Structure 1
C-alpha cells in the first residue's frame, strides 16, 4: 500500500489541477493521496469528483504558522472544513497572501529585477498566491535557474532580501483549532534547513505536549542522518512519523510517491480523525 500525505494543486501553488493531481497519483501507483494545499480546501471538491477507482483521497490543508519568529508549516488532515473558527483562521492567512506577494514584488523591483505583479498573478491563476509563484517568475526572467534557487537569502528565503512577512497562525492555536474540528496535525518538513531557520527541538517538545500528532520525517529536504534523528525525537515525544512527496507538479523535481507513509501510521491517523473520513475513489477509471 503506497500512501503520499502531502501534495499541492493549483488551488495553492502546485501546477496540477486537483483533478489532474488525483489522476496522476493513481498513475504513479499510489493507493492513498492527501491534498494539502496552503491554507485552503478549495481543491477538495474537484479532486473528489475526479477521484479514480482504487485511489483514496485524504482531505487536508497545510497551515502557515510561526513560533518564536520561526516559520513552520502544519499539515492538518481530515478536519471538518466547515468548522467556523478554523475556517476563519484559514481565511485570515489567505487574505494576507496578496498584500504580502505585492510587497515582495516591490522589493524585487527595488533590487533591479524587472518582475511585474501581472506576471505573478498570471502564474498564480486561481490559486492562493505564494512565494513559489514569485519564484517561478524569477525563473521565467532568467534571474535564477530553478524555483528552489529562488529560496535563498539573496532572494525569497525567510529573512532574504525580497522576503516579506505575512499573517501566520500560532501553532498552538492551529493544533487547538484542528483538533476542535476533528482533525489530526503533523509538523511538515521540520528540519528543512535549506528553507531557513528551523524550529528547535525544545519547541517541538512543547508542540507535542500541546497535542501535535506527528512529524513528517521522510521528505526530500531531509537527508538520511536527519531522518534518523527525527525518528529518535518522535519516539522520545510519542509522535507519529509520516513520509510524503510535498508534490507541486512541475514546479519542483520531486515526483508523487517519492516518499511515503507506513500503512500502520496512516491507519492511526484515520482512527484519530473525527471531522472527516478518507474518500474512496469512484469518479473515473484508474489509469492503466
Structure 2
C-alpha cells in the first residue's frame, strides 16, 4: 500500500475522509450507507463531495448526528483551465447559499447536456445507447461519465469501467466531450462567498506544476495531499508545495464503490483529524 505518512491511521489518532461520492453523483452507495460505513470504520469526520452536487448532505445529516459522526459540507466542483479539467473541492461552505445552489443547478443541466453529446458521438460509432438509460442509471443524481460507462458495460460494449474510459470516454478517447468550462477562479470565488474553503483535487492525476502554481494564485486555500493516486513521494511533494504557499492539507479515499479496490481504501486512506482542525482555524469568523 503506497499510503504512508498520515494517510493511514496512526496510533489511534482520530481520522477523517474528506473525499467521498454517493448516489447523488457517481457513487453506488446512498449518503446514509456512507455514514453507516464511516461510523463502522471508526472515522471521526467525513465530507460527502459529490460532483457538482450538495444533495447528499441533508440526506446524510440525521444518521451522522445519530452516530456522532462529524459531517463536513462538501462538493467536488468542475472547471476547466488552459485545456485541463480542474476539480475544486469545497469544504465548510453554506450549502444552502443561493448563488451556489443556482450554480450547481446550472452544472446539473450542463452535465446532462455533456452526456447527450457523448451519446451522440457513441451512436455515430455504432454504439447504440440512449441518454434515458444514463439518466436512469444516475437515479436523478448528477450525471457523469461513470454512468455512461455503466450503461456501456450493461450493453456488452465493454467488459469493465477501465475499458469504457480507455476505449470511449477518457480525455483522449473518441467520445470524450470537455467538462464544465467554468474558470477555476470563479469556482474558488463562489466557494469563498459561501464562507467555505477551496482545495485542488488529486493534482497528480492531470495537473502540471506550472498550472498548479497558476491555480494557487486564484486564491486556493489548500491542496489534496492524500489520494489513492498519490504515492508517498507525491504526498511529500505536494506537502512541500502547500507549505511553500502557506496552504492547508486535505485528502481522502475518493470512494465511489465502483472498483474492487474501493472497498479496501474506505476507512484506510484517511487524513489525521488535526488537518480538519487547521481548516476550521482558517475559516473566516463572522
Instruction: Calculate the TM-score normalised by the size of structure 1.
Output: 0.87
C-alpha contact (below 8 Å) 2:28/2:256 kept by paired residues: yes
SS of residue matched to 2:28: coil
Shift, 1:72, TM fit: 1.1
Shift, 1:252, TM fit: 6.1
Residue 182 in structure 1 maps to residue 195 in structure 2: yes
- Tell me how far apart the structure 1 counterparts of residues 224 and 260 of structure 2 sit (CA, whole Å): 18
SS of residue matched to 1:72: strand
Residue 148 in structure 1 maps to residue 162 in structure 2: yes
SS of residue matched to 1:96: helix
Point out 4+ residue stretches in structure 1 off by more than 4 angstroms.
none
Indicate the residue corresponding to 2:114 in structure 1. Answer: 100
Deviation larger for 111-120 or 99-108: 111-120
Structure 1 regions of 5+ residues with no counterpart? Answer: 193-197, 277-288
Change (3 A) 1:237 1:83: same
Match of 2:276 among 263, 266, 270: 266
Higher helix share: 2
RMSD of the alignment, in Å?
A: 2.0
- Tell me how far apart the structure 2 counterparts of residues 24 and 132 of structure 1 sit (CA, whole Å): 22
Shift, 1:214, TM fit: 1.1
Alignment coverage as a number of residue pairs: 270
Indicate the residue corresponding to 1:19 in structure 2. Answer: 32
C-alpha contact (below 8 Å) 2:79/2:179 kept by paired residues: no
Match of 2:149 among 125, 135, 160: 135
Describe the superposition over 1:59-112 as per-residue Cα deviations: whole angstroms up to 9, x where unpaired.
111100111111011000011123233223222221111111111112112222
Residue 233 in structure 1 maps to residue 247 in structure 2: no
C-alpha contact (below 8 Å) 1:58/1:77 kept by paired residues: yes
Structure 2 regions of 5+ residues with no counterpart? Answer: 1-13
Shift, 1:226, TM fit: 2.5
Instruction: Calculate the TM-score normalised by the size of structure 2.
Output: 0.87
Indicate the residue corresponding to 2:209 in structure 1. Answer: 201
